[in-house]
């Protein structure tokens, strides 16, 4: 940190607080809807999305931790609970010593397929129904530009405080 | 779920995927910046924000779980780790049997104060610098409207799939 850090203007702070509150609200409501509809927590769903996205339906635990951006202990505790419920299964990887895989089970695949229609319906109710076509276009433009900028700028560069 | 669930249009799906990817990227980068600057994880920071927001610097563990919208086991594991690092402390509440309090320690308060300037600088670099004044105004308008709508509509109503 340098002492010259510019604080946010009132408008900027209003936007950022609104943004974070909206994300927290949307995340919480989408997760509650999914729990009620399909008995999956938001964390369960995130894990299952990453496993079913991989062609073999399994990824290394260490890679999953990076994908989820969770702390390692949280990954480990959560996978243990999901394994007890039969949604995922661990397999050791003897050949290369690079650590265990975690894979989606048949029950895990069924669970995420059962969750999908309800999740889409909740996204529509909570997000899309609040926007008109112009809003959708305007938000897409801004978000795409922000994503392109994040992809361009190396993480260390953007995250650095030098 | 009814069979009439309308799926998202290509534009709507593009927006929602961009939105969730942007949020995940921003969250991860802001958390890495905070870890590097102030040795606090995103989870640590969220807990400390809620504790320092309360007038007495402590809240019931059960209330904290609601504020964070985390699963109970995650709250419990995480508080144990923060307690070991001296950032928070538990106190039993003997008089009413409604469960333990968790409070911020002097070290916890110092940690979040140390983190604040770097966090604001990272928000500026990653978010605000990507936007012009018109974007800030336009996003604020949409987010405020969405938040007002969420506040209006009861959770059960919005989350219901009936």
Alpha carbons A148 and B25: distance in angstroms, whole number: 11
A33 at interface of B, judged by CB pairs closer than 8 A? yes
Cross-strand bridge partners of residue B101 = B60, B91
A49 at interface of B, judged by CB pairs closer than 8 A? no
Query: What's the rounded mean pLDDT across residues B144-154?
Result: 87
A140/B14 touch (CB, cutoff 8 Å), yes or no: yes
A148 at interface of B, judged by CB pairs closer than 8 A? no
A75 or B160: which leads in pLDDT? A75
Chain B CB contacts of A39 below 8 Å: none
- Distance of residue B95 Cα from the nearest chain A Cα, in angstroms: 32
- Lowest model confidence (mean pLDDT) among A107-111, A145-149, B11-15, B154-158: B154-158
ipTM score of complex: 0.80
pLDDT at B151 over 90: no
pLDDT value of position B106? 97
Percent over 70 (pLDDT), chain A: 87
Query: What's the rounded mean pLDDT across residues B156-161?
Result: 45
A122/B159 touch (CB, cutoff 8 Å), yes or no: yes
A158/B43 touch (CB, cutoff 8 Å), yes or no: no
Alpha carbon separation from A158 to A155, B20, B75, B104 (Å, rounded) = 5, 20, 30, 31
A82 or A42: which leads in pLDDT? A82
pLDDT at B69 over 80: no
Of B81, B143, B145, the CB nearest to A19: B143
B142/A133 touch (CB, cutoff 8 Å), yes or no: no
A126/B150 touch (CB, cutoff 8 Å), yes or no: yes
pLDDT at B96 over 60: yes
Of A7, A37, A142, the CB nearest to B139: A142
- Distance of residue B46 Cα from the nearest chain A Cα, in angstroms: 11
pLDDT at B6 over 50: yes
pLDDT at B159 over 90: no
pLDDT value of position A97? 65
Kindly indicate the confidence band of residue A9, based on its pLDDT and cuts at 50, 70 and 90.
very high
- Hey, of B5, B8, B15, which one would you mutate to test binding to chain A, going by the most A CBs within 10 A of its CB? B15
Kindly indicate the confidence band of residue B112, based on its pLDDT and cuts at 50, 70 and 90.
very high
Query: What's the rounded mean pLDDT across residues B126-151?
Result: 94
Chain A CB contacts of B120 below 8 Å: 5, 7-8
pLDDT value of position B72? 82
pLDDT value of position A107? 97
* Helical residues (DSSP H) of A39-154, grouped into ranges: 42-53, 61-68, 72-84, 106-126, 133-152
Percent over 90 (pLDDT), chain A: 67
pLDDT at B3 over 60: no
- Lowest model confidence (mean pLDDT) among A112-116, B18-22, B23-27, B67-71: B67-71
Kindly indicate the confidence band of residue B158, based on its pLDDT and cuts at 50, 70 and 90.
very low
Mind listing the pLDDT tens digit for each residue in A45-72? 999 999 999 999 999 999 998 888 777 8
> How much is the pTM?
0.79
Chain B CB contacts of A32 below 8 Å: 155, 159
pLDDT value of position B155? 53
Of B29, B71, B124, the CB nearest to A8: B124
B116 at interface of A, judged by CB pairs closer than 8 A? no
């Amino acid at each position: 940190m340098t002492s010259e850090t510019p604080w946010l203007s009132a408008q900027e702070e209003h936007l950022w607080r609104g943004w974070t509150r909206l994300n927290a609200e949307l995340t919480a409501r989408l997760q509650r809807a999914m729990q009620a509809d399909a008995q999956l927590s938001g964390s369960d769903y995130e894990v299952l999305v990453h496993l079913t996205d991989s062609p073999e339906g399994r990824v290394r635990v260490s890679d999953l931790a990076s994908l989820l951006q969770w702390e390692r202990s949280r990954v480990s505790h959560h996978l243990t609970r999901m394994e007890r419920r039969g949604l995922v299964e661990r397999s050791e990887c003897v050949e290369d010593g690079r650590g265990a895989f975690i894979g989606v089970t048949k029950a895990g695949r069924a669970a995420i397929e059962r969750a999908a229609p309800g999740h889409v319906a909740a996204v529509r109710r909570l997000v899309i129904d609040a926007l008109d076509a112009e809003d959708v276009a305007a938000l897409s433009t801004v978000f795409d530009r922000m994503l392109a900028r994040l992809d361009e700028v190396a993480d260390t560069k953007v995250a650095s405080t030098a």
